[in-house]
């Protein structure tokens, strides 16, 4: 009998713990994050993509489905109190790091981690805000088929490409040019093996890779910190057993980092005008080989 009571008490404690996974995210804490994220976006103020990224954000606790937003929705589903707007996200709807229309308003949805993590929360929010900008511009998420990236040969070529890209981002001059050349060769070899997946690879690398590049750049304070975070992300993805749903997040970011280093990421850049036509499915970061001359010219 005593054992049964002890088990029931333990289950109750665990249950209560599970229900309060984001109890740290008080209205006061939420306001601090909203202020910090606004400052991050204002610091850039459209310099990178032509528009300030800041806009409606909803943080969601995956367990309780509790919403904390910085702005009201158009239909009045969220209730304002203590400077934030709260509600409950429907259980039948998916929670992910993506833009969502809720109550008639396009929000940047940001799932909360189980514990307070300043860098993760800020970058996840900026990640979703960038996707929100993409959606406003007419580009939405895609159902990618990049299952080839779990094949042994594809994993080998992409690891070689990553090694070359890391070298390119940590070197200069002739050494950097050779590293970029190697990366393009490895990429070309991989594409030759899996030609039918090229369109989906381009879409994945553009859509998620540019998001990773953007939130890492905006949420770091120096070039050294930026590269450290990018390589930390690369190392994490490198160790994953499956690349098919993960590689694009870092792959596009590595090429975008090279473009940024040469100041080729701007609204006036020929390369970036091509990249922004993501939804056509024909462009880069990267279908490298057709645009190899552009890359070589950039590093003359």
Cα gap 206→249, rounded to integer Å: 9
Three-state secondary-structure class, residue 300: coil
| pTM (two decimals) | 0.84
131: left (phi over 0), alpha (psi -120 to 50) or beta: alpha
Structure token digits, residue 259:
């473009």
Q: Contact 149/243 with Cβ under 8 angstroms?
A: yes
Per-domain residue ranges of the chain: 20-136, 147-298
Q: Contact 169/227 with Cβ under 8 angstroms?
A: yes
Each of the 300 residues of the chain gets a pLDDT tens digit; together they read 555 555 544 444 444 444 445 589 999 999 999 999 999 999 999 988 889 999 999 999 999 999 999 999 999 999 999 999 999 999 999 999 999 999 999 999 999 999 999 999 999 999 999 999 999 988 877 788 999 999 999 999 999 999 999 999 999 999 999 999 999 999 999 999 999 999 899 889 989 999 999 999 999 999 999 999 999 999 999 999 999 999 999 999 999 998 888 765 554 455 455 555 543 444 344 444 444 444 555 555
Q: Contact 260/213 with Cβ under 8 angstroms?
A: yes
Structure token digits, residue 235:
């190392």
Q: Give, rounded to a whole angstrom, the gap between the first and last alpha carbons of the chain.
A: 80
Report the 10 Å Cβ neighbour count for 271: 21
Q: Report which of 30, 25, 57 is spatially closest to residue 124, judged by C-alpha positions.
A: 57
Report the 10 Å Cβ neighbour count for 84: 22
């Amino acid at each position: 009998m005593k054992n049964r009571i002890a088990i029931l008490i333990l289950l109750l404690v665990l249950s209560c713990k599970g229900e309060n996974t984001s109890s740290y995210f008080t209205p006061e804490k939420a306001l601090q994050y909203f202020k910090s994220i606004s400052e991050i976006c204002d610091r850039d103020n459209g310099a990178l993509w032509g528009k300030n990224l800041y806009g409606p954000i909803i943080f969601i606790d995956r367990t309780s489905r509790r919403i904390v937003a910085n702005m009201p929705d158009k239909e009045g589903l969220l209730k304002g109190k203590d400077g934030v707007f709260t509600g409950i996200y429907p259980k039948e709807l998916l929670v992910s790091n993506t833009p969502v229309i809720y109550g008639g308003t396009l929000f940047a949805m940001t799932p909360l981690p189980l514990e307070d993590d300043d860098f993760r929360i800020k970058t996840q929010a900026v990640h979703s805000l960038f996707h929100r900008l993409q959606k406003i511009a007419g580009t939405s998420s895609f159902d990618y088929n990049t299952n080839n990236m779990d094949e042994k040969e594809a994993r080998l070529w992409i690891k070689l490409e990553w090694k070359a890209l890391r070298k390119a981002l940590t070197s200069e001059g002739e050494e950097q040019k050779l590293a970029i050349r190697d990366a393009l060769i490895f990429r070309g070899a991989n594409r030759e093996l899996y030609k039918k997946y090229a369109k989906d690879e381009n879409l994945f690398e553009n859509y998620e890779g540019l998001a990773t590049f953007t939130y890492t750049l905006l949420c770091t304070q120096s070039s050294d910190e930026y590269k450290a975070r990018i390589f930390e992300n690369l190392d994490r993805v490198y160790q994953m057993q499956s690349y098919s749903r993960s590689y694009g997040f870092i792959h596009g970011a590595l090429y975008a980092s090279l473009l940024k280093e040469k100041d080729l990421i701007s609204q006036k850049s020929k390369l970036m005008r091509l990249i922004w036509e993501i939804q056509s499915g024909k462009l880069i970061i990267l279908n490298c080989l057709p645009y190899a001359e552009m890359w070589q010219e950039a590093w003359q």
